[in-house]
Chains A and B, each alone.
Chain A
């Protein structure tokens, strides 16, 4: 099964790949806060953010089309949540807008734009982070930022066994297909339930075996600190420069 898609470009080498994961996480948080507090009508600032992100995507050496495709995934969700806002009008507001016979609210449209553009820019930002950082490095970054070890471990397990589980599901589907299952009639829905149930049971048993394997190697529920890398000067400069750039854009256009 082709499962490389999550870390497809993590092994490339670029300025962003070389940054310490902790620096990248802090940066992402800072930039997202600045982005979210920007006024939706600050078009120059928003355009500026987009331009900076575009430059970052190009500098990361991963193809632009990849970023845009991945970022596109978020849009249906955002649109679904926000789609009704333009049709609601605050009581007494006089901002009705007639669009092909449909009455829209100017204020509502602005909120809609606000939600969509910020969600999209934020997801592009996170994609630059996740594309240039292997999952193991992301976990290291979380651990060195003092995220509780148990959460880091759970995230690690989820990542490690996601593919194992996906493969198992795929094998079951193939086994079903080979015996003439094609899941088109309602009567065949039972089989889907059985597949899901079996997957659940198998995962449960696997979890038991993994825990035994952990015990066998001396696990006692304790946590051990991994080696924490020192932030290099380039990492500090990277944080200051990127946050500074966004902050400047944020301030000059409000």
Chain B
């Protein structure tokens, strides 16, 4: 198997404007096609870390994604390559209709209306929301909102999908649909979660974050078997 590096993070640290340390010297390498779970309790720094991958926030340290340094001049390309799915779908779905939300990214990338249309229809079909184009996303169920949020980044043809708590607040059926949807994708996945079930079903590798530091980076099986580790970091 060709193990080409797709995300490389070197000694990343980040403090909030008020001085609180959120990330402490994180180094991490993720390979193309891998499915990695980013696990940790609430407030561990998972969301902060993923926001670094396409330059939404920037701390100290070097990050390279798809052979591009995460610096201002590459933001545009990076945002096309890294599809970020936010924790709260209501934050991500800000357009008046389902169609417009899926079209927002492709339009920003400068595609023609026909290309935009094609991408929107393809990505909505991929998440099972075809036929809902003219609805307001406010009227969708929580599970549908989450799937639409995924479609909005699929429409940009992202190479890496980064999801922040994709199953939080969903009922079992909604969870199952999201897990199946993600399992059927041949993209690099980085999933920030504390849903160990999701981790078991979807990922091969688990990176454990706690208090802003990386405390483990092993196979999912090894992490799940390590009860002391899980207990120490509030995951069990």
Identify B92's interface contact among A136, A139, A213, CB under 8 A: A213
Identify A136's interface contact among B91, B100, B113, CB under 8 A: B100
CA separation between A134 and B96, bound complex, in Å?
10
A73 at the interface (CB under 8 A from B): no
B:161-182 near A, CB below 8 Å: none
Residue of B nearest to A207 (CB): B91
A48 at the interface (CB under 8 A from B): no
Main secondary structure of the interface of A (DSSP, over half): helix
A234 at the interface (CB under 8 A from B): no
Q: Which stretch from B5-13, B33-41, B101-109, B204-212 is at the chain A interface?
A: B101-109
Cβ–Cβ < 8 Å partners of B186 in chain A: none
CA separation between A253 and B47, bound complex, in Å?
68
Do the beta carbons of B91 and A218 come within 8 Å of each other?
no
Q: A: which residues have CB within 8 A of B? A: 3, 7, 134-136, 139, 156-157, 159-161, 163-164, 206, 209-210, 212-220, 222, 224, 226-227
Given A215-B56, A216-B84, A218-B156, are A160 and B95 neighbors across the interface (CB < 8 Å)? yes
B:80-104 near A, CB below 8 Å: 80, 82, 84, 86, 88, 90-97, 100, 104
Given A212-B56, A217-B152, A218-B80, are A224 and B97 neighbors across the interface (CB < 8 Å)? no
B132 at the interface (CB under 8 A from A): no
Given A3-B138, A227-B113, are A218 and B96 neighbors across the interface (CB < 8 Å)? no
Identify A218's interface contact among B108, B134, B137, CB under 8 A: B108
27 residue pairs of the A-B complex, CB under 8 angstroms, read A7-B136, A136-B136, A139-B96, A156-B94, A156-B96, A160-B93, A160-B137, A206-B90, A206-B91, A209-B91, A210-B92, A212-B51, A213-B86, A213-B91, A215-B56, A215-B79, A216-B86, A217-B79, A217-B153, A218-B76, A218-B79, A218-B105, A218-B108, A218-B156, A219-B104, A219-B108, A222-B108
Given A156-B95, A212-B51, A212-B56, are A217 and B100 neighbors across the interface (CB < 8 Å)? no
Residue of B nearest to A221 (CB): B108
Instruction: Please give the number of chain B residues whose Cβ is less than 8 angstroms from any Cβ of chain A in the complex.
Output: 33
B54 at the interface (CB under 8 A from A): yes
CA separation between A219 and B76, bound complex, in Å?
9
The list of the 6 closest CB pairs from A to B, nearest first, reads A218-B108, A217-B105, A136-B96, A209-B91, A216-B84, A224-B107
Cβ–Cβ < 8 Å partners of A160 in chain B: 93-96, 136-138
Distance between B213 CB and nearest chain A CB, rounded to angstroms: 24
Distance between A3 CB and nearest chain B CB, rounded to angstroms: 7
Do the beta carbons of A163 and B138 come within 8 Å of each other?
yes
CA separation between A164 and B100, bound complex, in Å?
18
B:96-145 near A, CB below 8 Å: 96-97, 100, 104-105, 107-110, 113, 134, 136-138
User: Which residue, of A136, A206, A219, has the highest number of chain B Cβ atoms within 10 A?
Assistant: A136
CA separation between A42 and B181, bound complex, in Å?
66
Cβ–Cβ < 8 Å partners of A218 in chain B: 76, 79-80, 105, 108-109, 156
Cβ–Cβ < 8 Å partners of B134 in chain A: 134, 136
Distance between B119 CB and nearest chain A CB, rounded to angstroms: 12
Cβ–Cβ < 8 Å partners of A212 in chain B: 51, 56, 86, 91
Given A139-B96, A222-B108, are A164 and B90 neighbors across the interface (CB < 8 Å)? yes
Cβ–Cβ < 8 Å partners of B86 in chain A: 209, 212-213, 216
